[in-house]
Amino acid sequence: MAANRYFRRESTGMKHETKITREQMVELLNEDLAREYQAIIAYTVYSQTIKGAAFTDIAGELAIHAGEELAHALLIAKQIDYFNGKPTTIPKEVKTSDKAEDMLRFDLENEKQTIINYRARIRQAEELGEFALSEVLRTIIAQEQEHLTDLADALGIDNPNFSE
């Protein structure tokens, strides 16, 4: 356990040393945007199709998430434009299932990956001296963490513990 933690810290330290270019930042932000589109679609569909009395409350939450993901997409697209890039129009693939629990698990996994990505993006933005971008990403990541908590609560599990 302790060894694991040590290695994680090491790899984070190594990432710190790789400064990316502005072109690479545009590419990475476009991946983030494609993930935001994916989240908008997933939350829109899941919130309206999730079945079962036990999931009534979370259905309402998912509909709220959909709106927040749209706000994130707008913020990311604006940042891409600021870097003179072209915002993508293509979402990452959205998984489907008829089972409520599957939908929540897909969302949970996506939120987890999104948080990991934004953590890296914040570090990269700071290395470029792009503090306004880092500020925007920090606002977004705080909401993604709330999404993750909502999903974990609905699934009756602990918040996933991950560091990267």
**Positions that interact with Fe ion (CB under 5 A):** 36, 69, 72, 144, 147
Integer angstrom CA distances of residue 124 from 5, 110, 119, 146: 22, 21, 9, 23
User: Cβ closer to Fe ion: 11 or 159?
Assistant: 159
In whole angstroms, the minimum distance from the beta carbon of 2 to Fe ion comes to: 32
Q: Which of 17, 93 has the CB closer to Fe ion?
A: 93
> DSSP secondary structure string, the chain?
-HHHHHHHHHHHHHHHH-PPPHHHHHHHHHHHHHHHHHHHHHHHHHHHH--SGGGHHHHHHHHHHHHHHHHHHHHHHHHHHHTT------PPP----S-HHHHHHHHHHHHHHHHHHHHHHHHHHHHTT-HHHHHHHHHHHHHHHHHHHHHHHHHT-PPP----
CB 87 within 8 A of CB 30: yes
CB of 115: closest distance to Fe ion in angstroms?
Answer: 8
Question: Measured from the CB atom, is 4 or 58 closer to Fe ion?
Answer: 58
Least distance (Å) from Fe ion to the CB of residue 151? 9
- Pick the closer one to Fe ion by CB: 16 or 116: 116
Beta carbon nearer to Fe ion, 10 or 77:
77
Q: What is the nearest approach in angstroms of Fe ion to the Cβ of residue 97?
A: 18
CB of 94 to Fe ion, least distance (A): 13
